[in-house]
Structure 1
Amino acid sequence: MTEVNQPDKVARRRHGKTDAIDAEAAARAVLSGRATAAAKTSDGPVEMLRLFKLAKGSAIKFRTQAINQLKSVLVCADAELRESLAGLSNPKLFQQCALLTQSEVSGPADAARHTLRLLARRIQHLTEEINDLNKRITEAIRARTPGLLDVHGVGPDTAAALLISAGDNPERLDSEASFAALCGTSPVEASSGKTQRRRLNRGGDRQANAALYRIVLSRLRWAGPSQDYLRRRLAEGKTKREIICCLKRYVAREIYRHIAPANTAAHPTEPARDTT
């Protein structure tokens, strides 16, 4: 199975867009040899990760919504109830609201108590879902790539995003440069006239790119080698944005060695070019 990129924009403007036209353009790309990339499969542990991450994302979204609703209801609740819950941390607030007694609703005050009780129990249920999904995501990552979570700055969410980007068949990525391009961290020429410069590839998986960015920020805050690198490059006249671009490229190489160890052994990585 071959993966075909988006059709050429000039051809799309000229001929329009329909399913039939897109199918013909994809077929022509394969027959001409322009499309040679292997498609990402979804029949293994990475697909499990994607589904768990999807469920976790929606649970976090609805829990945040429920928390905001609970606090807005609490602001409008009667003074006695509001004062009894004042100064509590979020977990204790949700616990106390969930324990509110259920009674006949005969006015706005009773309706507020009932609503607080329902919202608090919803928040607790969603928190249990999120904790369970966090555990399942961590177990799936350790089963797929045992050493990935041991990399400095890599947590379950960032590891899941990078694995999902690579897919269940990371061997389709020829080298760590291919993985860097997939994550949008590969340098591309952006020279004009006498000015010689490079910029990062604006394509690729945005979620994977964001995961690399979070890893770099974590290392710049907590890792001594990254902090030393930052100070050295700043002294050379580089901006912090340019330094982060370089570090993202280095992190992509390190992550690739865990995601596709067989490819790394077969094709030793070359030194990464300066991305600035």
Structure 2
Amino acid sequence: MKSRILLSASLLFALGINAQDAKKKEDIKAIKSMCGCYEVEFNFAETFKYATNADYKPSPTKHETGLEWVELVEDTPNKIVMQHLLQVSDTMIVKHWRQDWEFENNRLYVYNKDNSWKYVTLPKDQVKGQWTQRVFQVDDSPRYEGTATWVHVDGRHYWNNVTDAPLPRREHTIRNDYNVLQRNNTHEIVKDGWIHDQDNVKIQRGADGKDVLVAKEKGFDHYRKVDDSKCAGARKYWATNKAMWKNVRDKWATVFAQNKNLDLSLKVEGQTLFMALFDLKPTATKAETDALIEKYIKKS
């Protein structure tokens, strides 16, 4: 009888391990399915106003389209790196945002405000089976990150997380009445591609950490899959420039590995980091990119 109980326990344990492995494989399939060439529709609109000033002006509703290539840069069992490239024309390519996915990660840089991030660690049991999505700026500096479980149910495949972030680029030059965008992000795989669905909150965070709600907005970005040949220009750009951008990623990796709070300067000598990096040639050395990034890191 005792041997039967031990056998049953071993069988249940093995079945549990196999189920976990199968779930993780399904997660990876969903994440990697976001790679490829997409016609993208970007939509943003403010939905509710909470500011009390009479002269408050909401941001204009945004409807834009673009062609985007999502390159699989790194593919390991516990980490997937994907670079977005916006193809304006066959010869005009803009290095866009980057998303990294890491399995059961418990080290996060949580956005505070005013271009500063707090380093936090979570209990390992809290992130069991979860994936951290890290989103980076066009210069590969941090933007926002959060951890959650991929859900596969009733034919749906999605991941949802709420986290704080800096102002989006579309708001930098038109808004100064809030300094934190709390992002409710849902990434869902659909039949014709994938959707980035957002329910965001615009917040003014004070020096005392108190939050004042300014407005809410809805975001809905639909990535419709098209033939990879349409993104030939973006793929060519990446083949030429990927070595330099790997050096940039590697430098940031050493910064993040210090596991401490991070404060960055928006501009140095009147220039943003992304413009300084975009001005470099593909042959720029790692020493050059390292030194450039160091200028924007505030020393504690």
Structure showing greater radius of gyration is 1
TM-score, normalised with respect to structure 2 = 0.24
Greater strand fraction, Structure 1 or Structure 2: 2
TM-score, normalised with respect to structure 1 = 0.25
